[in-house]
Structure 1
């Protein structure tokens, strides 16, 4: 290959940027690369798990899932494939959901509310708040705690 030919599968130093150059230096050292990949795996898995737990609740559950998968995809090809798959399915579902009528959207809202209330009850939140307010009832307490 001549000097003028550029390999398309290898980024140049200019295209990598500071982060890419820093990562390339780490990749050259076997132990540092292993430690880095383990750290990315642990952090990405924790963020992904938090996102999965947060999905049924109002708020950024799916955003957290995508962030966790994005962290993992920065180092692992399998995570990049999963991220693409999940993003495509999510987009399709949201497109489908947007076309639904008021009944489906209302049922979705009721189901979300039920999941939140059930989880708060199982975690003992209602018993705790009831105790603070002087309203102590047995049925407010968690059946698992």
Structure 2
């Protein structure tokens, strides 16, 4: 497959393996297996990082990018993800949406501070699990 750019300015889909690897079917299949295994290890590491400290989603997308060097399905997933992130960024930068987000965040912080004040006023600076009834 061609690895140049298509008419929309996006990279064409398909393998980005060197030409000498794509020329030999067994070598290309071995290359694809290697790319899949490395990508799988990176994605698995990202999944492990989701509940633990670490950049889980970033690592998962890194693994997807590794897969996208060889597999069309991963390239399509990354294109879709990039479109959605660009869309969300554009929406978040809209002044009306920013104003709404700031208002909602401020209201949430005021409510949280009021609840914390009520708690401290009633129980003092005691952890909730150490309160004796």
TM-score of the superposed pair, with normalisation by structure 1: 0.47
Q: Does 1:64 align with 2:75?
A: no
For the pair shown, the structure with the greater C-alpha radius of gyration is 2
RMSD: 3.3
Residue aligning to 1:30? 25
For 1:34 and 1:43, how far apart are their aligned partners in 2? 14
CA distance in 1 between partners of 2:21 and 2:64 (Å): 22
Aligned CA distance change for structure 1 residues 79 and 89 (closer, same or farther; 3 Å): same
Structure 1's 91 and 39: CA in aligned 2 closer, same or farther, altered over 3 A?
A: same
Distance 1:92 1:54 in 2: 26
Mapped partners of 1:95, 1:56: distance in 2 = 29
2:78 to 70, 79, 83: 83
Is the partner of 1:75 in helix, strand or coil? coil
Q: How far is 1:59 from its partner?
A: 3.3
Q: Distance in 1 between matches of 2:108 and 2:89?
A: 12
Gaps of 5+ in 2: 5-15, 110-133
In structure 2, C-alpha distance between the alignment counterparts of 1:94 and 1:57, rounded to whole Å: 26
CA distance in 2 between partners of 1:55 and 1:25 (Å): 38
- Aligned-pair distance for 1:23? 1.3
Deviation at 1:45? Answer: 1.6
TM-score by length of 2: 0.51
Tell me, in whole angstroms, the C-alpha distance in 1 between the residues paired with 2:59 and 2:66.
11
SS in 2 for 1:70: helix
**2:43 aligns to what?**
48
1:115-126 matches, within 5 Å, as: none
Q: 2:34 aligns with which of 39, 42, 45?
A: 39
